[in-house]
Structure 1
Amino acid sequence: MTTMTVDQLRAAIEREMPGVRADLERLVRIPGIAFEGFDHAPLARSAEAVAELMRGAGVDARVTRAGGGHPAVIGRREGPPGAPTVLLYAHHDVQPTGDRGMWASDPFEPVERDGRLYGRGAADDKAGVMAHVAALRAFGCGTGDDRLPVGVAVFVEGEEEYGSASLPALLAAHREELAADVIVLADAGNWDVGVPALTTSLRGIVNCFVTVEVLESAAHSGMFGGAVPDALTVLCRLLATLHDAEGDVAVDGLVSGRAAPLDYPEDRFRAEAGLLDGVGLIGTGRLVDRIWAKPSLSVLGIDAPRTSEAPNALVPRARAKLSMRIAPGDAPDLAYQALVAHLDKHAPWGARVSVELELSGSPSVIDASGPYGDAARAAYQAAWDGVEPVEVGLGGSIPFIATFQEVFPDAAILVTGVEDPHARAHGPNESLHLGEFARVCLAEALLLRNVAEIAR
């Protein structure tokens, strides 16, 4: 088999990008949301569309499920004799849109503005799916001029945004089909527009519900207020104990660490976060430590009477949803126990407090050294015209990475992605930088080439 040169792959990606973008837009139009309360029929359509794209790119792909999980796409094609195999992972499900009034355009009708493609899933993670397809197409896969130099396994999950509950069962059922020398997990991002990155650490997650109860039922606020606490005041006081005066998490027993030696200017961070003028940052230490290597605790929502419907009565019960990100080196079960102990200890006025775990996921540390890590760095540097990729942490959580590490302990894992700091994944007006997307597609094609060269 004749090896394709860097220039040939660059030309091939340029040739394929119009079709890749058109297929990406078709995927974005499918509102595949795995959360409870949503119509799950679009997830089946999304999975079938992905399977068709993979088959068109030369992979024997099919839709499958594990138990009551949502549809995933799994496939494989063998490489030339003696060639290594690369597992390509992405996910086709997306986050709910939230308040559609916050979107400048229909979240499921992709539109380009100023070189960015807007739409739910345009970046996270349907562009990850299409980066895999683009790399395969660059080698002529599925045509009469197929020159793919490696074997490929494909796993496109259908419930990553909802916790990947069926992932372990899928990996167990298809372990042999998915076995690979290198695993490319395309669900992260780059350091900045124009600066590629490999993700080498991720925080874990513990989500839970905390409920406080003080009364058998609502009581007259005039007759009993001043002597009887209301549940909302109790909840507010309890939640306030989760952080110290500087804004650091005040739960004893959590792990903290040090992040990569990168400078994250505060003005850039504030702009990328969309922080309002005059609002201060919380926590202490370097910004990269705060968001990559230290725990965080956020209140995501509160169940209580709506202000427009609230009577003059003491609230008997209130509930909040908490999201705790835990640092690399911590364990979800230990972190959860520490949080429960803190909430029990700090419950004011003897209020009853109960905690219910919703989901958890382990943090990860990825070793990007070795020949396959070097192959990735070389690919990214070539795709970005000489700009060396940096190693970054991720404050968000991708628990399935730890699962892949457990199931395939001998495989080299590379965490890549298409997002940039302005992508606004999970938020309104999610978008994909189209120029950077083309570079990601080229980098993946070059990575497959470089992996084959190592074997030779």
Structure 2
Amino acid sequence: MTSPDVKATVHALMPSVVADLEELIAIPSISFPGYDAEPVHRMAERTLEKFRMAGFTDARFMDVPSGYPPIYGEIPGPEGAPTVVLYAHYDVQPALESQGWTSDPWTPTRKEDGRIYGRGASDDKSGLVTHLGMMRYFGGKPPVTLRLILEGMEETESNLEEFVETNPELFECDLFVICDMGNIRVGDPVMTTALRGDVSCTVTVRTLEHPLHSGVFGGAAPDAMMALARLLTTLQDDAGDVAIDGVTKGPWEGADLSEDDFRAMADMLPGVDLIGTGTVADRLWAKPSINAIGIDTTSIADSSNVIHPQASAKISMRIVPGSDPKKELAALVAHLESHAPWGAQVEVTPMKAAPPYRVRTDGPGYAAARAAMAEAFGKACDEAGSGGSIPLLQTLEDASPSAEFVLWGPEDTAQARIHASDESVDPEEIERMIVAQVLLLEKLAEG
């Protein structure tokens, strides 16, 4: 079909695609420990049923040592056709009431802006229905060999990397299509070409054997919480750039954001400055960033007039493509161990070293995807990075070293608010992404 015919056919499919999305949003498939397992299993079953009906008749749950099972399936294409692996995930983040939701996160809600709101609406149930819409376009008979992998533990401790390492033959392909990303803005196509990695650790600061009366001992005895606060401030310089010796940084070449656009996307409060130096794109995709994502100390409700003997924090540092996560984590640990004030005792426990990833952009699969995006959106396609990390990509590359990667999806940065309150997706963006995936497979088959 020509591009206008593809668009018309996909448009006619959208009511069923939206119905699927709304049904799936209503299932609270939170994979985190401590949450009810029944909804996750129910989500897995419904997802499996839908993909079987869409053409993956042999789709099935795969055995894994622990956690929720991945779904795998395969549809043979014409002889000599390339092989494409489709990826998405069916689990979601928690939706805490304290996040400030303005509608029930488990009730799909269409608001005045036309977007559909609910936990997982973007991340990544929109990816699931994008694949479903594409399969329905082809009537379950795509022009290439398709393999399907749908993960159930992406948002927590993934069990898929070990599965891929154990079963590399299932992932041999020409192209991976990772539908768990999105454009910067709705309607403006970009190819994601770089992902930052993520290293993390916990740091505990100790100054006393036990709590002390702050009136009797304050002014001479060091408070561990204050020592921790001073230690944390050494992680950034006055501009807000990471101030750790030995970490990797560089410039970004590709799409950029204005400071005004970024302020609007981040919902920054009036008068608050952006941090860091360089372009906004440099700061988001080509330079490291660091945050204290959790602190353990006395709560305000439990506070009393004492000096704290101990305080802890969890530190997360995003690292840039091309860097070695083990070396970056070692640099972070060394900094924390050597910058404690007042001789405070510091104990650092490394936790995570997820690698960054850079997409190869010189292959025929990437070229076909970029052309498909331009046709689907009716405008030229740019390149952007992502601050998020997907450690699985390196594992997939190891399993199929000659394969290319396409990273895209309906999760726009500007409004989707993934992992936050009022997560949402624009159904028209899903429609355009279905068109792009259809065109991509047709171009691969022709090529």
TM-score band by shorter chain is: over 0.9
Take 2:438 and 2:381, find their aligned partners in 1: how far apart are those partners?
Answer: 16
Aligned to 1:381: 374
Aligned to 2:45: 48
Take 1:187 and 1:91, find their aligned partners in 2: how far apart are those partners?
Answer: 8
Q: Does 1:197 align with 2:194?
A: no
Is contact 2:59-2:72 (8 Å) kept? yes
Is contact 2:165-2:395 (8 Å) kept? no
Gaps of 5+ in 2: none
SS of 2:285's partner is helix
Aligned to 1:262: 255
Take 2:255 and 2:425, find their aligned partners in 1: how far apart are those partners?
Answer: 24
Is contact 2:287-2:320 (8 Å) kept? yes
Q: Does 1:361 align with 2:358?
A: no
The correspondence of residues 302-313 of structure 1 with structure 2, limited to 5 A, is 302-313=295-306
The correspondence of residues 11-26 of structure 1 with structure 2, limited to 5 A, is 11-26=8-23
The one-letter amino acid of 1:120's match is: R
Aligned to 1:127: 126
Deviations 1:8-58 (A, max 9, x none): 422221121111111111111111122222222222111111111110111
| CA RMSD, Structure 1 to Structure 2 (Å) | 1.4
The correspondence of residues 38-117 of structure 1 with structure 2, limited to 5 A, is 38-59=35-56, 60-100=58-98, 102-113=100-111, 114-117=113-116
The one-letter amino acid of 1:211's match is: T
The one-letter amino acid of 1:122's match is: A
State the aligned residue count.
444
Take 2:162 and 2:197, find their aligned partners in 1: how far apart are those partners?
Answer: 20
Aligned to 2:29: 32
The one-letter amino acid of 2:263's match is: R
Is contact 2:82-2:174 (8 Å) kept? yes
Q: Equivalent of 1:245, from 238, 246, 261?
A: 238
Is contact 1:75-1:177 (8 Å) kept? no
Aligned to 1:408: 400
The one-letter amino acid of 2:268's match is: L
Percent sequence identity over matched residues? 46
TM-score normalised by structure 1 residue count: 0.95
SS of 2:220's partner is coil
Kindly state the Cα deviation for residue 169 of structure 1 after the two structures are TM-superposed. Answer: 1.6
TM-score normalised by structure 2 residue count: 0.96
Deviations 1:331-385 (A, max 9, x none): 1111111011101110111211112223221001101222211211121111112
Q: Structure 1 stretch 11-20 or stretch 269-278: which is displaced more?
A: 11-20
Q: Equivalent of 1:223, from 192, 216, 219?
A: 216
Q: Structure 1 stretch 50-59 or stretch 348-357: which is displaced more?
A: 348-357
SS of 1:255's partner is coil
Take 1:82 and 1:438, find their aligned partners in 2: how far apart are those partners?
Answer: 29
Aligned to 2:386: 394
SS of 1:354's partner is strand
The correspondence of residues 265-280 of structure 1 with structure 2, limited to 5 A, is 265-280=258-273
Q: Does 1:453 align with 2:419?
A: no
Q: Equivalent of 2:144, from 147, 150, 163?
A: 150
The one-letter amino acid of 1:11's match is: A
Take 1:174 and 1:155, find their aligned partners in 2: how far apart are those partners?
Answer: 12
Q: Structure 1 stretch 31-40 or stretch 362-371: which is displaced more?
A: 31-40
Deviations 1:119-147 (A, max 9, x none): 11100111001111110100111xxxx4x
The one-letter amino acid of 1:159's match is: M
The correspondence of residues 342-353 of structure 1 with structure 2, limited to 5 A, is 342-353=335-346
The one-letter amino acid of 1:111's match is: T
Deviations 1:65-99 (A, max 9, x none): 42113221111111111111110001111111133
Aligned to 1:6: 3
The one-letter amino acid of 2:35's match is: F
